[in-house]
Amino acid sequence: MKAEALYFAIRNTKLLVGAGIILVLLGIGVIGPFFIDKPPTEYVGMQMQPPGGEFWLGTNTFGQDLWAQFVHGLRTTFLVGALGGGIAAVIGMVVGFLAGYKGGWIDEILNMLTNIVLVLPTLAVLFILNAYIGVRSAGMQALFIGLTQWPWAARSIRAQTFSLRGRDFVDLARLSGVGSGRIIMREIAPNMSSYLLLTFILLFGGSILIASSLDFIGLGPTDAVSLGLMLQQAHQWSAMHLGLWWWFVPPGAGITLIVGALYVANVGLDEVFNPKLREL
Amino acid sequence: MLKLDGVTKVYRIGAFGGQTMTAVDEAGFEIKPGEVVSLIGESGSGKSTIGKMVLRLLPPTSGTISIDGRDVRQMGKRDYYRKVQGVFQDPFSSYNPVFKADRVFAMIREVYFKGVPDKEWTAKIEAALDAVRLSPGAVLNKFPHQLSGGQLQRLLIARALLLDIEYLVADEIISMLDASTRIDVLNLLADLKQRGLGVLFITHDLALGNYISERTVVLHKGRIVEYGPTDAVFEQPEHAYTRKLLASVPQLHTKWEDAS
Amino acid sequence: MTLEVDDLRVYYRTLKGDVQALDGVSFGLRDGEILGLAGESGCGKTTLGKALIRLDGRMKHVGGSVTLDGQVLPIGDDVKMNPYRFKQVSLIPQYSMSAMNPTRKIGRMVRELLESRREKLDLDELHARLDLVELPKDVLGKYPIELSGGMKQRMVMVISTLLNPSLLIADEITSALDVSTQKAVVTTLKGFRDRGFVKSMIFITHDISLTNQLADTIMVMYAGKLAEKAPASTVVNAPKHPYTQLLISSLPEVGVRYADKRLTGIPGNPPSLLDPVPGCRFRDRCPLAFEKCAEDPPPVEVEKDHVVACWKAA
């Protein structure tokens, strides 16, 4: 099975292109900051410099290095995506596995909880939470996103668990005296590993998008630079009117590339795992 | 002796469980050590539900299942499964496709034989495989899809034998096997009687039940309509339903037209 | 002859290479004949059934021909086969429960199906046939979900034979049914033939006892090849191929008890059809195998209508 998936994986252009873009951007975000000795918010030079040899992406109206901001922003954006997506995936899995495997009243209670969070107007809640508690760090932002994004993942994992629970090998594990937790972790989850990976990728992309929107409307972290915050500042200081395209195009393209590449890779992975979608 | 007494299973169905459906209605019969009892019924007769209740995968709504006079609910599940085991219909669904087939043995070891040294365990597995006439080299360390249905079902019987069980629930275990291999699995089941094992053989196929069992229970819509020694049930069926079933069975050497 | 199949070869494409699922099978089918196609899983019986009506994406037509009523069927070409399907060759699928579009009322579905074949719906004839399978006329106004499993099965049987096809293929249609329903389905199929709704029929099943209730001729396949073909009673009572003999003797019947007469199966498993070694494909499991079996045994007509592919039988 594994070898077969690999065979199709290295032949799937969608997956290769998507994963390639993500890896390059991730590489810039992870390694890039080590090559920039000054903090990204420091005023380093001339104001409103177009891209050039000294400042690769130019400077903004304050004379801040936009390449430094972009590189740090990428890092924050990936961090928020991974954390937010990760938290949502963990909650979604716990709720989905428990509800699907246990059934009965546990299922009903968890289902109710899922539905309540699902119909919450996420953005409005985040707005209110931000206003009252104040999200001032990227970590807090990720936590809020994670806590609101899990319901659909929980629902689909529940449905899959429910169908796997009826398979004879689960009954056989029960006949071997194995407990529920171990059955979920060691019998059911391995059968949906590919699906869980896809779920995480989608949650990852979703978190980045939400984080960027929050940043853009001014609810971003104050202790970091992110691609969304760059966009927000560019907007706030009329970069468009001043013709400073190098201020808003890179962060905008960065977000679009990350999210787009994630979806393309996701479609590719889906084809790899799902024989019905494979193009022969 | 494994005994069912007034065992009933009622399912709640419909929105908010407003309606009920009786899958098994007051079923009572017994299995003695060293005998095969076949439980015959068509789809929806409740035969698999009875099997699952005996295996404690489903709780009965009312009635009791007991072993040697002791209500099974008083036994811990781990102790119970040492005595009572099951094999199911679909050999491919009985194995987790992600793992190697012999993992069913490892699971037993993890729960029941943790302290047993490797060498002793290997010997135990070889003895169990020998009892189901499989050679270790042919089946160990393989994925389920690399083995045939017959081999997989034998492995599951070997798995049960590791536990020195007293009773085995065999739910349609050969219905998905090919004709040329199924009879050998059936013979194997019959041979287990000599070890003093009691077998509940659940099937829809009357010829198979007739071939292997000492006693027969015929189930129709959750109710036992006929229960007795196998020759009596097949030679002088009392209930109209049993007679109808017998008349519908395709017989190799008799055509339906000639029989009626 | 309604149908003539000549040296038909259909392989499955897989990552590891071609699986020779159907490897040179020839047989004929007379008008009014019901052929029971029997064998174990992987013997090629389903591949043969599919090859006569629709190859799925992984199957490829490697060689041989199929002639129906004097016309050569373009079985390798999905589009060119379309005019033949349903009119000349029809299929009752194994899972008739899911064969019907759940969002259409049955009557409308039948009409649309006929329109797609540019045929007029003869309502009286349809009603007569529903009557024959004991379905009320008002099923046409119902959705498939409103019918029970047995009713759906009968409905699909009526639909697939509505245009009086020359050849009807029934692939394992009884394997999921209870014995009493099985009997009803088989009796209905026989009635279809007797009334001339279908000229001839191929009934595919793994259950020889059931095939014998219906078929005039039984063809036993093994590992992609024809093993034996003879009138049903000959296959059951006096088979010549060692595989058929062993298979028949492994079947328990009501009245045969383990304690009195211990039946035995056939040891071993069928060979892999991915690059099989030449020669008789049964020889590893055959008690009669000798040197000659390393060569492919050709199907030989040992007596009238009795074809056996075995060196020992010829």
Could you tell me the residue ranges of all domains in chain A? 2-27+63-275
pLDDT of residue B31: 96
Q: Each residue of C30-46: pLDDT tens digit?
A: 999 999 999 988 899 98
- DSSP annotation of A195 reads H
pLDDT at A242 over 70: yes
Q: Nearest by CB to A4, which of C13, C15, C57?
A: C15
Task: Say how far apart CA A262 and CA A35 lie, in whole Å.
Answer: 27
pLDDT of residue C31: 93
Task: Say how far apart CA A19 and CA C205 lie, in whole Å.
Answer: 48
- The b-or-e profile of A124-146 (16+ CB within 10 A means b, else e) is eebeebbeeeebeebbbbbbbbb
Q: Which of A20-34, A42-56, B41-55, C177-191 has the lowest mean pLDDT?
A: A42-56
Nearest CA in chain C to A276: C57
pLDDT of residue B152: 93
Assign A280 a pLDDT band (cuts: 50, 70, 90). Answer: very low
- Decide if C179 and B190 are in contact by the 8 Å CB cutoff: no
Which residues of A fall below an 8 Å CB-CB distance to C? Answer: 4, 7, 280
Q: What is the average pLDDT across A232-258?
A: 84
Q: Which of A144-153, B53-62, C212-221 has the lowest mean pLDDT?
A: A144-153
pLDDT of residue C95: 75
Q: What is the average pLDDT across A114-142?
A: 81
**Test the B interface: residue of C233, C244, C246, C258 with most B CBs within 10 Å:** C258
- Homologous superfamily of the C3-88+165-308 domain (CATH): P-loop containing nucleotide triphosphate hydrolases (3.40.50.300)
Element (H, E) at A115: helix A104-119
Instruction: Read off φ and ψ for residue C7, nearest 5 degrees.
Output: 50, 45
pLDDT of residue B130: 92
Taking one residue from B and the other from C, the number of pairs with CB-CB distance under 8 angstroms is 106
Who has greater pLDDT, C40 or A6?
C40
**Test the B interface: residue of C254, C272, C274, C281 with most B CBs within 10 Å:** C254
Residue B21, SS3 per DSSP: strand
- Nearest Cα to A158, choosing from A96, A111, A94? A96
Note whether C235 and C220 are within 8 A (CB). yes
Q: Each residue of C49-81: pLDDT tens digit?
A: 999 998 888 889 999 999 999 999 999 888 899
Pairing outcome for strands C59-68 and C71-72: antiparallel
Could you tell me the residue ranges of all domains in chain B? 2-259
- Decide if B112 and A177 are in contact by the 8 Å CB cutoff: yes
Task: Say how far apart CA C146 and CA A32 lie, in whole Å.
Answer: 64
Task: Say how far apart CA B175 and CA C144 lie, in whole Å.
Answer: 29
Q: Nearest by CB to A177, which of B78, B88, B96?
A: B78
> How confident is the prediction for chain C on average, in pLDDT?
90
Helix, strand, coil distribution of chain B in percent, nearest 5? 40, 25, 35
pLDDT of residue B252: 85
Q: In what order do the strands lie in the sheet with B19-31?
A: B19-31, B2-13, B62-67, B70-71
Q: Which two tokens stand for residue C20?
A: 């020779």
pLDDT of residue A118: 87
- The b-or-e profile of C74-106 (16+ CB within 10 A means b, else e) is bbeeeeebeebbbbbbbbbebebeebbeeeebb
- Nearest Cα to B55, choosing from B85, B83, B35, B30? B85
Task: Say how far apart CA B46 and CA B21 lie, in whole Å.
Answer: 11
- Homologous superfamily of the A2-27+63-275 domain (CATH): MetI-like (1.10.3720.10)
Task: Say how far apart CA C230 and CA C215 lie, in whole Å.
Answer: 11
Assign A275 a pLDDT band (cuts: 50, 70, 90). Answer: low
Task: Determine the distance in angstroms separating the CA of A279 from the nearest CA of chain C, rounded to an integer.
Answer: 11
Assign A239 a pLDDT band (cuts: 50, 70, 90). Answer: confident
Sign of the dihedral defined by the CA atoms of residues B109, B112, B118, B121, in that order: negative
- DSSP annotation of A187 reads I
pLDDT at A58 over 80: no
Note whether B13 and B21 are within 8 A (CB). yes
Who has greater pLDDT, B102 or A133?
B102
Could you tell me the residue ranges of all domains in chain C? 3-88+165-308, 97-164
Who has greater pLDDT, A6 or C213?
C213
pLDDT of residue B15: 63
Q: Nearest by CB to C213, which of B178, B182, B250?
A: B250
pLDDT at A128 over 90: no
Per cent of chain A over pLDDT 70 is 96
C256 contacts on B by Cβ (under 8 Å): 207, 210-211
Q: What is the average pLDDT across C90-101?
A: 80
pLDDT of residue C290: 93
- Decide if C15 and A280 are in contact by the 8 Å CB cutoff: no
Query: Would you give the distance in Å from CA B56 to the centre of its chain?
Result: 13
Nearest CA in chain A to B89: A168
B172 contacts on A by Cβ (under 8 Å): none
Which residues on neighbouring strands pair with residue B217, listed in sequence order? B39, B227
Assign C237 a pLDDT band (cuts: 50, 70, 90). Answer: very high
pLDDT at A120 over 90: no
pLDDT at A215 over 50: yes
Contacts of A243 (CB under 8 A, 6+ apart): none
Q: Which of A1-10, A184-193, B201-210, C247-256 has the lowest mean pLDDT?
A: A1-10
**Test the B interface: residue of C45, C179, C236, C262 with most B CBs within 10 Å:** C179
Task: Say how far apart CA A50 and CA B219 lie, in whole Å.
Answer: 86
> How confident is the prediction for chain A on average, in pLDDT?
85
Angle between helices C149-160 and C123-132 (to 10 degrees): 140
The per-residue pLDDT string of chain B (260 residues; one tens digit each, 9 = 90 and over) reads 999 999 999 988 766 667 888 999 999 999 999 999 999 998 889 999 999 999 999 999 999 999 999 999 999 999 999 999 999 999 989 999 889 999 999 999 999 999 999 999 999 999 999 989 899 988 999 999 888 888 999 999 999 999 989 999 999 998 888 888 889 899 998 888 888 999 999 999 888 999 999 999 999 999 999 999 999 999 999 999 999 998 888 888 888 877 65
Beta strands in chain A (DSSP E): none
- Decide if B107 and A178 are in contact by the 8 Å CB cutoff: yes
Note whether A196 and A160 are within 8 A (CB). no
Report, at the CATH architecture level, how domain B2-259 is classified. 3-Layer(aba) Sandwich (3.40)
DSSP code per residue over C163-197: T--SEEEEESTTTTS-HHHHHHHHHHHHHHHHTTS
DSSP code per residue over C54-81: ---TTEEEEEEEEEETTEEP-TT-HHHH
ipTM: 0.89
Residue A212, SS3 per DSSP: helix
A7 contacts on C by Cβ (under 8 Å): 15
